């Protein structure tokens, strides 16, 4: 019996040892960071999460990329673009020395291929709509969808023939889309109308090139004509990269390892040799790992005690918010905590449909009621007492001073007296018949606390009855999208450096307009802005649009601007900048040992 | 014995099929769209249609049969949330992690638990007995995430004895395995102690003692063999619990195991990953129970295979 | 003759009295019972105060240590921890008891039916139990919760639905051991002469169950019910740790412990946030376990696991 026991024990231990992968010891990478949130996908065309984009910008490089400090678009794989006098045609010459990690030169075909992939319906790209700015794309995509649907309704035996015919025609039609390869190194793009921020878009992840020969091997043509690509192509052993780093290993929800790309055209500028990105689920654990020295950079601090860290922070880095919060301690000591403004806003949506979900009339259909509710919230108090991360209270939608040359806009500030006046003007003198104000949010973070605090304010200032409803995020998304709420929480981060990234949300037909706010005046004002002759006049017009949005129309109740928090030792890690858009360019980062 | 094992083997696929079906029904009843992001942008209906066509999920019946036939070929499907990964890849990466963690934890629980239980029984009302009681108390009453977080900060941050979570080196195994083992260790210690006390005072051992065997031989060879039986029958459900309950530990120590993927799969409504995880777990549990059955009949001289 | 048939030999008042006195002699069990009674009383009686106080935010006084005014300190929103612990206890114990009750009802019904009916039906029913035993139960709890919570919300409101679905889900997977135990007991009782006598005397199957079997089952049922409560409470705490148990602002010892976990860090130690809820939870779980052990020793000393 003893012999039996001993054998079993030894075998089990050996097995455990092997399974745990204990045999190999890995040296620590030059730079280890926690990229908050698991990588959803590494297909640049399909990605929409910040952590995916951050990684994609490290291993691939677009025609343009972001300046590490100002995040303005700068030429990258392309030489500076030639823009025609009418502002509609861009000619990009690819750098002669730009290469893929296997030595292949980067060509205009790579970009044209990648961009076509991004608009193809089968790729299911969230940001495919960016390409609608290019002449002919929108029509092409609509035509593709129509035909896919038509073919899907055919009996199975007729499909293949129809499909092949359709795909041949699609290739022909694509030639007339405003995107063309002039020669190996030249790409010409023609837009529908001049777009001030097109170069900014060219730096975005959706516009990144992919290694054509690698990706093409994974192409699958569905029998209804949808073309997709088996996502296995994003594995490091299946593809090549043209960015400052190459991916060498990707362990699911564990880590990604990067090494410097020896074929990168600007390799002199790249200082790091190896990078490791860790995927850590629990915020507290991530902080403990950073404290133990296992991690060099935490890209966000979500623990409950983060405000305490911010209170103690005295960051030497430019752009950091120090002493902004009224609760800062007298002698701050932490040089490694950096809180800085982000390019995003936290707000509440008002349901702007004529009827509430339960069928009764919707008081918020009258914008005076919306204005009243906005005036009745003391945002400074909210920020100081509930959130306490040094956020600034928001009266506008777009974070101030976040877009160069964009005029300042002011919204409604706290005025409970005016709020009650407005309610009376709208016909609400007796609040006892007012429906219960129910705030919908997704559980987690501090949405519930914010909701409670705001509800208290409304109760006190307006005399309404309130309730809160916290549900799980997937269900919350559905209710929000379908306007099955009275008031719900929302947030938005800007995707590119132009006011329209925020303002378009409230256009009547926009797919993200969860308030269901339909206002012809608003849509008209946005169209007018696009017709302005100069960029300055355009921005001035857009500022007018925002003024209208946050003073008059108010489908939303802006609450505060987001704040990002990094943890890193500024004396060891250099060239990692605090940029609101969080497009951290790891290319330039340097670490001293 | 052969007959019994044979009948269990025949029943195993039926059990797995029943598990798959029950899980499938629940998975498709959970409200929430697997394709909708929780991020900023809403999903357009055309894109959703395309995705459903691609994965064979246009209606539930089609989904059920396609997935089942896939299972029979060893294809666990495609993660709907992490589209760059197939479920096979995910399971292949994370199951060994959970299994290693779980088996190490079970081993620790077994040896430490039995050891403490035996010592406690043999040396009643001494320091050892109270130690057993102490471990039992902590193990069954303090939630494991509290113990885990406590150990993490004590032994990985204040005193940098172990790495603060993660996976890949032997040192990273220790803290999570010990934390996971604790409740089972407690229970096994109690079971063993009670069983030993029973046996030690029974007639069963009189013959052995009369034969002149030394006390330690009596204890280890004969008494333990009998007292071990309830522990053994506990091992079946314990293995199940260890494997499936490890997600709490996985979250605290950042261990990339299957438990955490399953929980996130439910939260993300990743229907294929949920089905894959449950099927894999059920398969393992069925296998483990079979092994335990075999071990049980082998070890117990008093029970014949046909009884029970 | 009739009188003997209706007085089961096993349900002997003197015998019962002996069992209870055996229990009473177990001092640990009695002490635990007293403690548990005190906790339950405190939670229930204080409800009138703890319910409003548990949501009373004072953001300026967040995270203050225990003082005379706030005997257990305040949490991250300035809410008094004493109130949250008491209300949390009410909810945790409530979930535990309700889950145990459900598992008793399902398990006893299942096991008794299987045991009494016997034959094919019994075999099938117990096979199903074997199958369900093999399922990863916590996974099922999660799936059940997600599948049905939405529907209950419409009927009961979000907070109540949250609690209800939790104990329903936990109860729905905890009845298996109960079923096995009850069936075993029923089988052994079925073979007793008094039951055959009752049958011969013309007593119906249901009559046999209610008058002859159930009184003898109470012992084991009580034992396993008492042991199911702490398991259910622990499961609730795990789910709350993952964020899918009791949703805030409703407190439970589980989610208080999970929230308090962040107190275990090297930046800002609010030790009271983890120590108090955890101590209460642990002490209650222990007492339940000791009581259950004591009951088991008294009612069925031959069972060792």
Alpha carbon A147 to its chain's center: 31
Choosing among C35, C132, C143, which should be mutated to test the B contact, i.e. which has the most B CBs within 10 A? C143
Please indicate whether, in this complex, the C-beta atoms of B251 and A288 are within 8 angstroms of each other. Answer: no
Lowest mean pLDDT among A29-43, A268-282, A301-315, B26-40: B26-40
Look at residue A115 in the predicted model and tell me its pLDDT: 96
Residues of chain C with Cβ-Cβ distance to B266 below 8 Å are 142-143, 146
Option in A304, A386, A443 nearest C59 (CB)? A386
Q: In this predicted model, what pLDDT tens digit does every residue of B245-292 receive, in sequence order?
A: 788 888 888 888 888 888 888 888 899 999 999 888 888 878 877 777
Sheet containing strand A31-34, edge to edge, reads A245-251, A255-260, A274-278, A31-34, A297-298, A556-568, A337-350, A487-493, A437-442, A466-471
Please indicate whether, in this complex, the C-beta atoms of B81 and A40 are within 8 angstroms of each other. Answer: yes
Other C-beta atoms within 10 Å of B28: how many? 15
Look at residue B3 in the predicted model and tell me its pLDDT: 72
Please indicate whether, in this complex, the C-beta atoms of B103 and A12 are within 8 angstroms of each other. Answer: yes
Please indicate whether, in this complex, the C-beta atoms of A514 and B107 are within 8 angstroms of each other. Answer: no
Query: What letter would DSSP give residue A121?
Result: G
Using CA coordinates, name the residue in chain A closest to B248.
Answer: A282
Q: What is the mean pLDDT of chain B?
A: 81
Residues of chain B with Cβ-Cβ distance to C234 below 8 Å are 143
The C-alpha angle B84, B89, B90, rounded to 5 degrees, equals 85
Listed in sequence order, the residues at least 6 apart from A338 whose beta carbon sits closer than 8 Å to its beta carbon are A313, A315, A317, A320, A565, A566, A567, A568, A570, A578
- Any chains having at least 3 CB pairs less than 8 A from chain B are A, C
Option in A121, A222, A289 nearest B164 (CB)? A289
How many angstroms away from the CA of C4 is the closest CA of chain B?
34
Using CA coordinates, name the residue in chain B closest to C148.
Answer: B30
Choosing among A286, A293, A304, which should be mutated to test the C contact, i.e. which has the most C CBs within 10 A? A304
* Of residues C59 and A263, more confidently modeled: A263
Please indicate whether, in this complex, the C-beta atoms of A452 and C57 are within 8 angstroms of each other. Answer: yes
How many angstroms away from the CA of A467 is the closest CA of chain B?
23
How many angstroms away from the CA of A401 is the closest CA of chain B?
23
Query: Which 3 state secondary structure label does DSSP give A590?
Result: strand
DSSP H helices, chain B, are: 2-29, 45-55, 60-72, 87-122, 127-141, 144-152, 170-200, 204-210, 215-217, 224-244, 247-253, 258-268, 271-299
- CB of A444 within 8 Å of any CB in chain C? yes
- Any chains having at least 3 CB pairs less than 8 A from chain C are A, B
How many angstroms away from the CA of B134 is the closest CA of chain A?
26
Choosing among A49, A124, A228, A502, which should be mutated to test the B contact, i.e. which has the most B CBs within 10 A? A124
Going by C-alpha positions, the residue among B240, B243, B244, B205 that lies closest to residue B224 is B205
Residues of chain A with Cβ-Cβ distance to C259 below 8 Å are 304
Look at residue C115 in the predicted model and tell me its pLDDT: 83
Please indicate whether, in this complex, the C-beta atoms of C261 and A452 are within 8 angstroms of each other. Answer: no
The listed range with the strongest mean pLDDT (A332-336, A477-481, B31-35, C37-41) is: C37-41
- CB of A285 within 8 Å of any CB in chain C? no
How many angstroms away from the CA of C231 is the closest CA of chain A?
25
Lowest mean pLDDT among A20-29, A251-260, A583-592: A20-29
Look at residue C70 in the predicted model and tell me its pLDDT: 84
Residues of chain B with Cβ-Cβ distance to C136 below 8 Å are 240, 243-244, 278, 281-282, 285
Torsion C209-C212-C216-C218 (CA) sign? positive
Instruction: Indicate whether B197 pLDDT > 90.
Output: no
Residues of chain B with Cβ-Cβ distance to C142 below 8 Å are 263, 266
Instruction: Indicate whether B305 pLDDT > 80.
Output: no
Banded pLDDT at A496 (limits 50, 70, 90): very high
Choosing among C26, C31, C128, C135, which should be mutated to test the B contact, i.e. which has the most B CBs within 10 A? C135
Using CA coordinates, name the residue in chain A closest to B167.
Answer: A20
- Any chains having at least 3 CB pairs less than 8 A from chain A are B, C
Instruction: Indicate whether A307 pLDDT > 50.
Output: yes
Residues 147-166 of B with CB under 8 A from C: 149-150, 152-153, 157-158
Choosing among C64, C153, C157, C247, which should be mutated to test the A contact, i.e. which has the most A CBs within 10 A? C247
Residues of chain A with Cβ-Cβ distance to B246 below 8 Å are none
Look at residue A386 in the predicted model and tell me its pLDDT: 83
Query: Which 3 state secondary structure label does DSSP give A340?
Result: strand
- CB of A474 within 8 Å of any CB in chain B? yes
Is the N-terminal amide bond of C246 cis, ω within 30° of 0? no
How many angstroms away from the CA of A78 is the closest CA of chain C?
47
Please indicate whether, in this complex, the C-beta atoms of C241 and B251 are within 8 angstroms of each other. Answer: yes
- CB of A278 within 8 Å of any CB in chain B? yes
- CB of A133 within 8 Å of any CB in chain B? no
Q: In this predicted model, what pLDDT tens digit does every residue of A528-538 receive, in sequence order?
A: 998 888 889 99
Please indicate whether, in this complex, the C-beta atoms of A491 and B260 are within 8 angstroms of each other. Answer: no
Rounded mean pLDDT, A337-343: 92
Please indicate whether, in this complex, the C-beta atoms of A475 and C262 are within 8 angstroms of each other. Answer: no
DSSP bridge pairs for A186? A93, A183
Report the C-alpha gap between A335 and A315 in whole angstroms. Answer: 5
Report the C-alpha gap between C23 and C16 in whole angstroms. Answer: 11
Please indicate whether, in this complex, the C-beta atoms of C262 and A305 are within 8 angstroms of each other. Answer: yes
- CB of B134 within 8 Å of any CB in chain C? no
Please indicate whether, in this complex, the C-beta atoms of C304 and B281 are within 8 angstroms of each other. Answer: no
Report the C-alpha gap between A495 and A501 in whole angstroms. Answer: 6
ipTM of the modeled complex: 0.82
Look at residue C300 in the predicted model and tell me its pLDDT: 64
- Please answer whether residues A383 and A392 qualify as being in contact, where contact means their C-beta atoms are separated by less than 8 angstroms: yes
Option in A385, A452, A469 nearest C158 (CB)? A469
Q: E strands, C51-155, where?
A: none
Using CA coordinates, name the residue in chain B closest to A514.
Answer: B42
Residues of chain B with Cβ-Cβ distance to A234 below 8 Å are 84
Q: What is the mean pLDDT of chain A?
A: 90
Buried (b) or exposed (e) across C77-109, using 16+ Cβ within 10 A? bbbbbbbbbbbbbbbbbbbbbbbbebbbebbbe
pLDDT in tens, chain C (305 residues): 333 333 344 445 666 666 677 777 678 888 889 999 999 999 999 988 888 888 787 777 778 888 888 888 888 778 899 999 999 999 999 999 999 999 999 998 898 888 888 888 888 888 788 777 767 677 778 778 887 877 787 788 777 888 888 888 888 888 888 888 888 888 877 777 777 777 777 777 677 777 777 777 787 888 888 888 998 998 899 888 887 888 877 899 988 988 888 777 778 778 888 889 999 999 999 899 888 888 877 776 554 33
Residues 202-261 of B with CB under 8 A from C: 230-231, 233-234, 237, 240-241, 243-245, 247-248, 251
Domains and CATH numbers, chain C: 11-51+80-303 (1.10.3720.10)
How many angstroms away from the CA of B137 is the closest CA of chain C?
7
Look at residue A22 in the predicted model and tell me its pLDDT: 45
Please indicate whether, in this complex, the C-beta atoms of A448 and C249 are within 8 angstroms of each other. Answer: yes
Please indicate whether, in this complex, the C-beta atoms of B145 and C238 are within 8 angstroms of each other. Answer: yes
Instruction: Indicate whether B230 pLDDT > 50.
Output: yes
- CB of A156 within 8 Å of any CB in chain B? no
Rounded mean pLDDT, B52-74: 88
* Of residues A21 and A109, more confidently modeled: A109
Q: A390: alpha, beta or left, given left = phi > 0 and alpha = psi -120 to 50?
A: left
């Amino acid at each position: 019996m003893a012999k039996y026991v001993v054998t079993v024990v030894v075998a089990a231990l050996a097995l455990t040892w092997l399974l745990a992968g204990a045999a190999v010891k890995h040296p620590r990478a030059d730079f280890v960071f926690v990229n908050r949130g698991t990588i959803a996908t590494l297909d640049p065309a399909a990605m929409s999460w910040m952590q995916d984009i951050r990684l994609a910008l490290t291993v691939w490089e677009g025609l343009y990329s972001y300046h590490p400090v100002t995040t303005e678009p700068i030429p990258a794989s392309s030489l500076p673009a030639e823009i025609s006098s009418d502002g509609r045609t861009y000619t990009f010459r690819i750098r002669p020395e730009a290469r893929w990690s296997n030595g292949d030169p980067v060509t205009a075909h790579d970009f044209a291929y990648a961009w076509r992939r991004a608009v193809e319906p089968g790729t299911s790209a969230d940001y495919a709509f960016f390409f609608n700015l290019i002449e002919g794309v929108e029509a092409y995509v609509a035509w593709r969808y129509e035909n896919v649907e038509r073919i899907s309704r055919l009996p199975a035996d007729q499909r293949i023939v129809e499909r092949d015919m359709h795909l041949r025609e699609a290739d022909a039609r694509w030639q007339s889309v405003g995107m063309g390869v002039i020669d190996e190194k030249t790409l010409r793009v023609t837009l529908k109308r001049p777009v001030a921020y097109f170069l900014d878009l060219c730096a975005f992840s959706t516009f990144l090139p992919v290694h054509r020969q690698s990706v093409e091997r994974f192409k699958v043509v569905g029998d209804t004509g949808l073309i997709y690509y088996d996502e296995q192509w994003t594995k490091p052993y299946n593809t090549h990269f043209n960015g400052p780093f190459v991916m060498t290993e990707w362990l699911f929800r564990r880590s990604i390892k990067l090494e410097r790309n020896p074929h990168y055209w600007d390799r002199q500028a790249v200082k790091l040799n190896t990078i490791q990105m860790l995927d850590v689920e629990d915020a507290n654990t991530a902080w403990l790992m950073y404290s133990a020295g296992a991690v060099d950079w935490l890209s966000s601090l979500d623990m409950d005690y983060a405000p305490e860290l911010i209170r103690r922070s005295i960051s030497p880095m430019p752009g950091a918010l120090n002493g902004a919060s009224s609760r800062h301690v007298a002698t701050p000591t932490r040089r490694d905590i950096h809180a800085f403004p982000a390019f995003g806003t936290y707000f509440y949506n008002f349901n702007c449909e004529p009827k509430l979900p339960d069928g009764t009339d919707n008081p918020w259909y009258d914008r005076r009621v919306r204005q009243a509710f906005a005036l009745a919230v003391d945002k400074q108090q909210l920020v100081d007492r509930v959130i306490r991360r040094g956020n600034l209270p928001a009266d506008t939608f777009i974070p101030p001073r976040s877009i160069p040359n964009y005029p300042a806009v002011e919204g409604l500030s706290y005025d409970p007296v005016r709020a009650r006046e407005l309610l009376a003007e709208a016909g609400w003198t007796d609040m006892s018949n007012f429906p219960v104000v129910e705030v919908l949010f997704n559980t987690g973070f501090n949405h519930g606390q914010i909701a409670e605090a705001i509800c208290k304010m409304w109760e006190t200032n307006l005399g309404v009855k309130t309730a809160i409803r916290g549900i799980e995020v997937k269900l919350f998304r559905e209710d929000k999208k379908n306007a099955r709420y009275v008031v719900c929480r929302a947030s938005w981060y800007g995707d590119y450096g132009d006011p329209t990234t925020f303002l378009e949300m409230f256009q009547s037909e926009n797919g993200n307009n969860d308030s269901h706010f339909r206002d012809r005046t608003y849509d008209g004002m946005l169209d007018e802005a696009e017709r302005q002759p100069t960029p300055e006049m355009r921005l001035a017009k857009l500022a007018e649009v925002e003024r209208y949005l946050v003073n008059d129309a108010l489908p939303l109740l802006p609450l505060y601007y987001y704040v990002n928090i990094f943890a890193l030792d500024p004396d060891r890690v250099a060239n990692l900048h605090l940029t609101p858009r969080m497009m951290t360019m790891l290319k330039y980062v340097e670490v001293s040992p | 014995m052969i007959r019994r094992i044979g009948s269990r083997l025949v029943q195993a696929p039926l059990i797995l099929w029943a598990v798959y079906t029950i899980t499938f029904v629940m998975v498709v009843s959970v409200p929430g769209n697997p394709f909708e992001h929780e991020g900023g942008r809403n999903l357009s209906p055309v894109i959703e249609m395309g995705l459903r066509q691609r994965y064979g999920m246009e209606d539930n019946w089609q989904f059920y049969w396609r997935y089942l036939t896939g299972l029979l070929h060893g294809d666990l499907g495609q993660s709907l949330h992490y589209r760059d990964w197939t479920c096979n890849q995910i399971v292949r990466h994370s199951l060994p992690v959970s299994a290693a963690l779980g088996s190490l934890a079970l081993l620790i629980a077994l040896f430490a638990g039995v050891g403490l239980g035996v010592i406690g029984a043999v040396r009643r009302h001494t320091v050892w007995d109270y130690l057993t009681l102490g471990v039992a108390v902590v193990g069954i009453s303090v939630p494991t995430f509290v113990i885990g977080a406590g150990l993490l900060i004590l032994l990985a941050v204040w005193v940098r004895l172990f790495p603060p979570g993660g996976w890949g080196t032997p040192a990273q195994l220790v803290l999570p395995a010990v934390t996971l083992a604790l409740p089972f260790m407690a229970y096994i210690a109690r079971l063993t102690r009670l069983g030993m006390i029973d046996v030690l005072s029974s007639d069963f051992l009189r013959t052995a003692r009369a034969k002149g065997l030394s006390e330690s031989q009596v204890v280890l060879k004969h008494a333990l063999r009998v007292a071990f039986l309830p522990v053994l029958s506990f091992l079946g459900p314990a293995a199940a619990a260890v494997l499936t309950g490890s997600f709490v530990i996985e979250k605290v120590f950042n261990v990339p195991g299957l438990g955490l993927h399953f929980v996130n799969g439910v939260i993300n409504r990743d229907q294929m990953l949920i089905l894959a995880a449950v099927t894999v777990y059920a398969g393992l549990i069925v296998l483990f129970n079979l092994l335990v059955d075999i071990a049980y009949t082998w070890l117990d001289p008093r029970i014949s295979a046909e009884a029970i | 003759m009739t009188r003997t048939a209706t007085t089961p030999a096993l349900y002997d008042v003197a015998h019962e009295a002996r069992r209870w006195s055996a229990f009473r002699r177990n001092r640990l069990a009695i002490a635990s019972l007293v403690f548990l009674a005190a906790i339950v009383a405190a939670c229930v009686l204080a409800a009138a105060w703890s319910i409003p106080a548990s949501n009373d935010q004072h953001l300026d006084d967040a995270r203050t240590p225990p003082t005379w005014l706030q005997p257990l300190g305040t949490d991250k929103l300035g809410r008094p921890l004493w109130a949250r612990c008491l209300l949390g206890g009410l909810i945790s114990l409530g979930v535990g008891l309700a889950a145990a009750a459900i598992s008793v009802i399902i398990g006893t019904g299942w096991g008794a039916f299987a045991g009494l009916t016997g034959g094919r039906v019994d075999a099938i029913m117990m096979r199903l139990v074997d199958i369900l035993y093999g399922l990863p139960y916590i996974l099922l709890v999660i799936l059940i919760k997600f599948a049905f919570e939405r529907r209950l919300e419409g009927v009961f409101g979000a907070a109540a639905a949250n609690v209800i679905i939790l104990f329903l889900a936990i109860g729905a997977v905890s009845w298996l051991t109960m079923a096995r135990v009850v069936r075993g007991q029923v089988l052994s009782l079925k073979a007793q002469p008094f039951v055959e006598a009752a049958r011969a005397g013309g007593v119906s199957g249901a009559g046999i169950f209610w008058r002859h079997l159930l009184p003898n089952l109470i012992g084991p049922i009580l034992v396993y019910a008492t042991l199911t409560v702490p398991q259910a409470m622990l499961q609730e705490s795990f789910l709350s740790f993952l964020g899918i148990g009791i949703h805030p602002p409703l407190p439970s010892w589980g989610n208080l412990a999970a929230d308090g976990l962040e107190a275990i860090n090297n930046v800002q130690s609010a030790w009271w946030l983890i120590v108090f809820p955890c101590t209460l939870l642990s002490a209650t779980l222990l007492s339940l376990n000791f009581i259950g052990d004591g009951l088991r020793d008294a009612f069925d000393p031959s069972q060792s696991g």
